[in-house]
């Protein structure tokens, strides 16, 4: 079985994998980083999205064995060392951008990647960028809002009495 070494959330890790082991399986089962989720088997839902060498990647589309030497960031690596949420994570809470939380890791990883590429996206930009991420709970309204707010743009406040 091939041996693979990579950096995950800043930590050097290595392990034996089968040739067919997917990155998402290596993360979840090998490293017990269960924040990255599996929502489909056709690379359509984005629940498994992580950053590989700074790029947004669906972890169900990559073989772990091919990622020797890669830098991987998962949802577990997004908050500060002191536990403080990143701007995107905080905005998701502030604007109720999550309900069941299952799509959320992928949404946060996608949102962060978008803002890296495009620091002031329009609503249409955000919707377009989320093309590969499915959420069944939120209707996307508050996800879009959260990502716009994280970019420092003015958005409608949450509903209140």
Q: Which residue ranges make up the site for ligand FES (CB under 6 A)?
A: 38-40, 43-48, 58, 60, 98-104, 135-138
The yes or no reply on residue 14 touching other proteins (CB under 8 A) is no
Q: Which does 60 bind (CB under 5 to 8 A by kind): other proteins, ligand FES, none?
A: ligand FES
Mark the segment that binds other proteins (CB under 8 A) among 28-36, 51-59, 61-69, 113-121.
28-36
Out of 17, 59, 75, 112, point to the residue binding other proteins (CB under 8 A): 75
Using the CB atoms, write b or e for 90-108: b if 16+ within 10 Å.
Answer: ebbebbebbeeebbbbbbb
137-144, long-range: CB within 8 Å, 24+ apart, which pairs?
137/98, 137/99, 137/100, 137/103, 138/96, 138/97, 138/98, 138/99, 142/95, 142/96, 142/97, 143/92, 143/97, 143/98, 143/107, 143/111
**Are the C-beta atoms of 29 and 93 separated by less than 8 Å?**
no
CB of 9 to ligand FES, least distance (A): 19
CA 118/CA 120 separation, integer angstroms: 6
The yes or no reply on residue 105 touching other proteins (CB under 8 A) is yes
Q: Which is nearer to other proteins, 13 or 96 (CB)?
A: 96
CB of 12 to other proteins, least distance (A): 19
The yes or no reply on residue 63 touching other proteins (CB under 8 A) is no
Q: Which is nearer to ligand FES, 25 or 151 (CB)?
A: 25
């Amino acid at each position: 079985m091939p041996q693979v070494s990579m950096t995950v959330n800043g930590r050097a890790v290595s392990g034996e994998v089968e040739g067919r082991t997917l990155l998402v399986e290596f993360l979840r089962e090998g490293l017990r980083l269960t924040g990255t989720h599996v929502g489909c088997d056709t690379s359509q839902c984005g629940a498994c999205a992580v950053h590989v060498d700074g790029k947004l990647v669906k972890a169900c589309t990559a073989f772990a064995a091919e990622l020797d030497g890669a830098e991987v960031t998962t949802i577990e690596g997004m908050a500060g060392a002191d536990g403080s949420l990143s701007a995107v994570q905080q905005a998701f809470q502030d604007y109720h951008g999550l309900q069941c939380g299952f799509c959320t890791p992928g949404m946060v990883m996608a949102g962060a990647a978008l803002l890296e590429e495009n620091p002031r996206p329009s609503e249409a930009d955000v919707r377009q960028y989320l093309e590969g991420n499915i959420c069944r709970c939120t209707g996307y309204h508050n996800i879009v809002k959260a990502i716009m707010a994280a970019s420092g743009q003015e958005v409608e406040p949450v509903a209140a009495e």
